[in-house]
Structure 1
Amino acid sequence: MSPCPPGCCCPRPGFLVLCESLNLRSLPRSVPLSTSALSVARNQLCNVDHLLRPFSSLQELSLSHNLLARFPRGLPPSLESLLLQENRITYITTGALRQLVNLTHLDLEDNHIRAIQPGALQGLIRLQVLTLKGNNLTGLPRNLPPSLTHLDLSANCISTLDLPSLSPLVNLQVLKINSNCLRSVPDRAFDGLPRLRSVDLTDNLWVCECDILYLYRWLLSARLKVATDLVCTEPVHLAHRPLLNLSLTAICPRVLTPNERTPRSDLNSALGRKLATAKPTERSSFDNMEDLGNMPILKLSTDAVFSKDVPETRALLEHFTLQTLTYEECLFLNRTQSVSPSHLKTVTYLPDEEQKHRDNSSGRYPQSSTTSAGETQSLLSTDRDAPWLTAAPRQFTQQNSAAVISLLTVLCVLVTLLVLAVLLVLRLVLRRQMRVAPLDAGSAG
């Protein structure tokens, strides 16, 4: 039986040695070299470099709650678990962990780490649990080992999730990044983590605007254990509100429009112009404009309106198809963003050039240098040949009525002037007759 150091506890002498809370400033000299688990936690150790190398069988080591200012050097390669929480470590260099190839658990919680050199943890090919909670990190450590299954980065100053650092963690199961300074999450941040089953993102500085839509949709569709009580800090009108209590349009009002300057009321007219300028072969997938007009615009798919050979018109409608909406978002849109079917019926499906000709006072279609009489006649053919030109009789009626009213007004004015002129002529004639009559009476006497 190996002796137990004075003041220490040795449940299994020579294998498990606990020398905790003894105010030690150096390692006990009588610790057996065959020890496999050693704890010298809650002491006043400042430097243990190269003092533990002779312990070739050491697998578990706790140096927590001491005064270490840097990562200890010269640790035995046999270590599998290393606990260094609540020390004064400020940085980790590339060579500090080079020999610890068997390490599976590393705890650096509540230190002052502000920098980890790229690749410092890369050589830990068996590392599964890494705890960096309560430090001063501003970003994810670079070149983390793919073997990680649990990563705790909570209570740091991390403001962005670096995709190159996160994507290699294909075995990651638990991620804690709560209590940081995250404002949004980049697109596809969690898509490359197939084994992820638990994520904690609470207590961050979430900005509930368009950049957070990926996280918003991911939280709604995620089938894993995730803290969903994320609270917005910006913009001001959404501050202190839970993210998942907001609607899609409240977060990003322009999500349903192609750009911020295009109001939603212009959607129907834009679609109408595309329908008008499309060739007959491009409109072969639909024959009845009335049926198309009865469909809500948000339900239209590009394949139902145009053939796949028209990329330009497909691009137009793809701005307005909400294929990525979740069920909850769809219910919200049905309540607040539904479009009246009559909008499509009142669109004039005419080319822009002919529409300009319709605006003149005569209401005719003058022939341009690029349009022949035969082409004009074909454009004004029967409904069967060109149903897309006769889809708006109401607008034609309104324009004709305005022209008739204008003509009637002009005619009324002309009739009034003519009546006044006749009355004036009659008055002049009567005056002349009255002057001639007395002269004729005097000559007769």
Structure 2
Amino acid sequence: MLWCRPDVLLTLWICPLTCLMMSPCPPGCCCPGPGFLVLCESLGLRSLPRSVPLSTSVLSVARNQLCNVDHLLWSFSGLQELSLSHNLLARFPRGLPPSLESLLLQENRITYITTGALRQLRNLTRLDLEDNRIRTIQPAALLSLKKLQILTLKGNKLTRFPLNLPPSLTHLDLSGNCISSLDLPSLSTLINLQVLQINSNCLRTVPDNTFDYLPRLRSVDLTDNLWACECDILYLYRWLLSGRLKMATHLVCKEPIHLAQRLLLNLSVVSICPRVLQPHKLDLESAATNEPTEQDRMRKLAKEIIDSEEVTTKDPSQTRVLHYSLESLNYEDCLSQNQTQSIDPPHLKTTSLPKEEQLCRENTTAQRNGTSAVGTQSWLSTNRNDLLSNTHVLTPDSATIISLLAVSCVLLALVMLAVLILLKKVLVRQQRVAPTVEGSGA
């Protein structure tokens, strides 16, 4: 923000004293020094003050009610910084002086950016358009800004990545929009880009090689998007595992349904893209032209990820996963990874998430009870039909158990009833015999 700069804060501190001594100055504004800084904020202005000195280099008319300032500032040939934030501007102001280096327009009502509006601003290094209503930016609207370094378009209504951005950009903020895809040609030209914020958008995947042509990129924010954790996301998955940049890696899957709300980096390659381990089928057309098929590309990418993610020991049943520690990986996350990493690839079959979690927990229980690792591996390597049949043999069905218990209860009741009847007959017989015995004795 303009008022966060040290020199501005200093002038604001001494402003009450200096404003009494300096003139001319617009009524209600603060002018610490001639030709330096003019602050006309929160005054309810509907038009620019007329008495602003033409030598002003920093002007702020933020938090007013300005609706149109077209061609009103052209005569300020030395103006370097201008703040028009928190006003009622419905379009990008026209006729601004070419000397501008910083332009703040956040929280207005701008809906589109045209090429002609910025054509003269060749010295602009910072442009802030945060929290407007921008839906459209003409393809060449920003290309003429050869010195632009910081561009903020946060909190607008963009549905696509801006085209033809100037290569001079170092910071680009596109968060809080509706962008559903990245334009690779436009992004690859940003060779000086250092910080990219595109969180809180509608991205589902990232095209291959998206970040490979950005040599100075050091920070990326991709959180809160609509990530589809399928085969097309393997490039982003591998790029995140590389850990070369400072960025948030807690990307949450939204699709497919069985992986929803799961962290992308807690998944294995097989759970993201099961077809990478399916039997290879040659595409006749691709084979004739010696071009790799889509399946070949997925296999190659998956192999690179697995090679960088795991280190296999002499015992093939034991693997050590890199990039994790006890602080970043808990017990439940470990179980969710084991459900695919411990399966023998040639016999892998896709199953639903609840069944995989149940099998993984049964496998863990068996290992605790003394089952050998080799036996567990062979159990998980069987096909789905054998697995289901073995499960029925080893684990009784709950309905069968209930039926057996019911039958046992009925049999027990019948036995008890028979015993009671037998006891009753014995007692009756004894009562009949007892009087006879007494009579004979008399």
TM range, smaller chain: 0.5 to 0.7
1:165 to 186, 201, 209: 186
Q: Cα offset for 1:246?
A: 0.8
Q: Cα offset for 1:165?
A: 1.2
Query: Is the 1:257–1:319 contact (alpha carbons within 8 Å) kept by the matching residues of 2?
Result: no
Q: Secondary structure at the match of 1:322?
A: helix
Question: In 2 relative to 1, CA 260–156 (structure 1 residues): closer, same or farther, beyond 3 Å?
Answer: farther
Which residue type is aligned with residue 336 of structure 1?
S
The answer for the alignment partner of 2:309 in structure 1 is 328
Q: Secondary structure at the match of 1:325?
A: helix
> 1:116-135 to 2 correspondence within 5 Å?
116-135=137-156
Query: Is the 2:276–2:299 contact (alpha carbons within 8 Å) kept by the matching residues of 1?
Result: no
Give me the whole-angstrom Cα distance separating, in 1, the residues matched to 2:96 and 2:281.
60
The answer for the alignment partner of 1:249 in structure 2 is 270
The answer for the alignment partner of 1:105 in structure 2 is 126
The answer for the alignment partner of 2:84 in structure 1 is 63
The answer for the alignment partner of 1:95 in structure 2 is 116
Give me the whole-angstrom Cα distance separating, in 1, the residues matched to 2:139 and 2:131.
21
Give me the whole-angstrom Cα distance separating, in 1, the residues matched to 2:66 and 2:345.
72
The answer for the alignment partner of 2:160 in structure 1 is 139
Give me the whole-angstrom Cα distance separating, in 1, the residues matched to 2:203 and 2:83.
32
Deviation string, structure 1 residues 31-66 (Cα, Å, up to 9, x no partner): 000000000000000000000001000000000000
Q: Cα offset for 1:68?
A: 0.3
Give me the whole-angstrom Cα distance separating, in 1, the residues matched to 2:79 and 2:37.
10
Question: In 2 relative to 1, CA 319–115 (structure 1 residues): closer, same or farther, beyond 3 Å?
Answer: closer
Q: Secondary structure at the match of 2:239?
A: helix
Query: Is the 1:217–1:326 contact (alpha carbons within 8 Å) kept by the matching residues of 2?
Result: no
Query: Is the 1:247–1:329 contact (alpha carbons within 8 Å) kept by the matching residues of 2?
Result: no
Runs of 4+ in structure 1 deviating by more than 3 angstroms, as ranges, are 257-261, 318-321, 329-335, 337-340
| Structure showing greater Rg | 1
The answer for the alignment partner of 2:49 in structure 1 is 28
Which residue type is aligned with residue 178 of structure 2?
C
Give me the whole-angstrom Cα distance separating, in 1, the residues matched to 2:38 and 2:345.
74
Q: Flag structure 1 segments of 5+ consecutive residues without an equivalent.
A: 262-310, 341-445
Q: Cα offset for 1:164?
A: 1.1
The answer for the alignment partner of 1:82 in structure 2 is 103
Give me the whole-angstrom Cα distance separating, in 2, the residues matched to 1:339 and 1:29.
77
Which residue type is aligned with residue 205 of structure 1?
L
> 1:289-438 to 2 correspondence within 5 Å?
322-329=303-310, 331=319, 336-337=342-343
Deviation string, structure 1 residues 6-25 (Cα, Å, up to 9, x no partner): 10112223310000000000
Query: Is the 1:248–1:329 contact (alpha carbons within 8 Å) kept by the matching residues of 2?
Result: no
Question: In 2 relative to 1, CA 335–205 (structure 1 residues): closer, same or farther, beyond 3 Å?
Answer: closer
Which residue type is aligned with residue 224 of structure 2?
D
Question: In 2 relative to 1, CA 232–323 (structure 1 residues): closer, same or farther, beyond 3 Å?
Answer: closer
Give me the whole-angstrom Cα distance separating, in 2, the residues matched to 1:193 and 1:327.
22
Give me the whole-angstrom Cα distance separating, in 1, the residues matched to 2:280 and 2:200.
35
Question: In 2 relative to 1, CA 319–77 (structure 1 residues): closer, same or farther, beyond 3 Å?
Answer: closer
The answer for the alignment partner of 1:182 in structure 2 is 203
Query: Is the 2:277–2:345 contact (alpha carbons within 8 Å) kept by the matching residues of 1?
Result: no
Q: Cα offset for 1:339?
A: 7.2
Give me the whole-angstrom Cα distance separating, in 1, the residues matched to 2:195 and 2:64.
32
Q: Cα offset for 1:336?
A: 1.8
Deviation string, structure 1 residues 87-129 (Cα, Å, up to 9, x no partner): 0000011111000000000000000000000100000000000
Q: Cα offset for 1:328?
A: 2.8
Deviation string, structure 1 residues 240-280 (Cα, Å, up to 9, x no partner): 1111111111111112335589xxxxxxxxxxxxxxxxxxx
The answer for the alignment partner of 1:227 in structure 2 is 248
The answer for the alignment partner of 1:409 in structure 2 is none
Give me the whole-angstrom Cα distance separating, in 1, the residues matched to 2:275 and 2:251.
22
Give me the whole-angstrom Cα distance separating, in 2, the residues matched to 1:15 and 1:185.
46
User: Percent of counterpart pairs with the same letter?
Assistant: 76
Which residue type is aligned with residue 342 of structure 2?
T
The answer for the alignment partner of 1:4 in structure 2 is 25
Give me the whole-angstrom Cα distance separating, in 1, the residues matched to 2:51 and 2:248.
48
Give me the whole-angstrom Cα distance separating, in 1, the residues matched to 2:91 and 2:204.
32
Give me the whole-angstrom Cα distance separating, in 1, the residues matched to 2:224 and 2:341.
32
Query: May I ask how many residue pairs the two structures share in their alignment?
Result: 290
Give me the whole-angstrom Cα distance separating, in 1, the residues matched to 2:234 and 2:310.
12
Q: Cα offset for 1:326?
A: 4.4
Which residue type is aligned with residue 219 of structure 2?
S
Q: Cα offset for 1:338?
A: 5.0
Q: Flag structure 2 segments of 5+ consecutive residues without an equivalent.
A: 1-21, 283-290, 312-318, 322-337, 347-442
Which residue type is aligned with residue 210 of structure 1?
C
